[in-house]
A = this chain, B = another copy of it.
Amino acid sequence: MRINEFKSILGKKRVDFAIFYNLDSSRYNANMLYFSGYKGVGALVVPESKPAFLIAPDMEIERARKSMVKKAYSMEKKKFFESIDKIVKKNKLKTRDIAIDKNNFTLNSYEHFKKQFKRAKTKDISLDCMRLREIKTEKETHFLKKSCAYADKILQKAIKNFKSFKTESEAAAFLEYEAKKNGLEISFNPIVASGSNGSMPHHEPSNTKIKRGFCVIDFGVEYMGYCSDITRTIFIGKISKKEKEIYNMLLSIQQNTINQIKNDKKCSELYNYTNKSLGKYKKNFTHGLGHGVGVEIHELPNLTLNSKDKIRNNMVFTIEPGIYFPGKFGIRIEDTLLFKNRITTLTKTSKDLLTIG
């Protein structure tokens, strides 16, 4: 996506090419995925004025050639940067100025890189990539909408079946199963946090019985590489008036915050709006208000206290206020939204408080 804009950045920075790499088959490099669609081990080289190409170990070469970047060369993984150097030279690229992503370049890899590309000057391209990825193309917006629609559908099915789940793990397993059997990845491990577990925003579902009280369900899928992110909090058992009030307070704050969103709005102002609205509960709001969503689940913009980001056209991001009472309970309500002249909520599952059992 947006590889031409990226090449013009490379031109302005006067670099010969940019290089992204991934050494770990159980992870992927998000920028490599963004520019090439390839998620495996290897390297992506983007020259300023020639087509991009991949370099991958033999075992991955077939997969690499099926990516958006059709051109892929074979490498020896043991001689990673040595192989890259050879192929770069074969492609008659200069190696004087090389753009690298310092957010995804380890110290050890850099030592190996420098041994091979001795005279190269490196320029950090990490922020440029993040800023490029922050503004979505029409195609990306389409994928993100579909991703959110799938997340909605699966979440609603899980909520409908919720009574049949004995443990948090079972509920989380159901969410994943529904995603996977449709050929979708999940965008992160689903969170199902009942009772006092709900006070840990990143609780890992456990194999114990679902407890009475609020139950936070945080879920998203990956469609064509693009993530969705939605949280709903339901209630298990008989709810008290006070519990109902606190849920509805958070819900109206979430909705009012969404209503504040307009072009050029400072993200820190949105955070402050939520924080202020929470009144005495603001100390229980222990995380950011939201984050951009794309090929990674956490992208720009940052909707936090110290953020310098502003809302602009074609951004896709979450609004997710939450309140947490350690050892007691937690509530979070989260949507993924698109700003394009006006705000559109892409995740559409009802936020009316649902009580079960």
Q: Decide if B181 touches A78 in the complex (CB within 8 Å).
A: no
Chain B residues lying within 8 Å of A326, measured Cβ to Cβ, are 62
**A203 x B63 contact (CB < 8 A):** yes
Contact (A59, B287) CB under 8 Å given A78-B304, A183-B205, A206-B183: yes
Closest residue of chain B to A177 (Cβ to Cβ) is: B177
Known: A106-B104, A126-B108. A24 touches B298 (CB 8 A): yes
Query: Is A106 touching B105 in the complex (CB atoms < 8 A)?
Result: yes
Number of interface residues of A (CB under 8 A): 62
- Report whether A207 and B183 are in contact in the complex, using a CB–CB cutoff of 8 Å: yes
Q: A78-B304, A185-B189, A188-B26 are in contact. Are A63 and B107 (CB under 8 A)?
A: no
Least Cβ–Cβ distance between A343 and chain B, in angstroms:
25
Task: Indicate if the CB atoms of A40 and B126 lie closer than 8 Å.
Answer: no
* Of A169, A174, A326, most B-chain CB atoms within 10 Å: A169
Task: Say which residue of B108, B200, B298 sits within 8 Å of A26 (CB atoms).
Answer: B298
A210 to B104, CA, bound (A): 36
What are the residues of chain B within 8 A of A183 when measuring CB–CB? 167, 169, 205-207
Residues of B contacting A204 with CB < 8 Å? 39
Flag A322-335 by CB within 8 Å of B: 1 or 0 each: 00101100000000
Is A180 close to B, CB under 8 A? yes
**Residues in B neighbouring A167, C-beta threshold 8 A:** 181, 183
Residue of B whose beta carbon sits closest to that of A127: B108
Chain B residues whose CB sits within 8 angstroms of the CB of A177 once the complex forms: 173-174, 176-177, 180
**Complex Cα distance A306/B271, Å?**
53
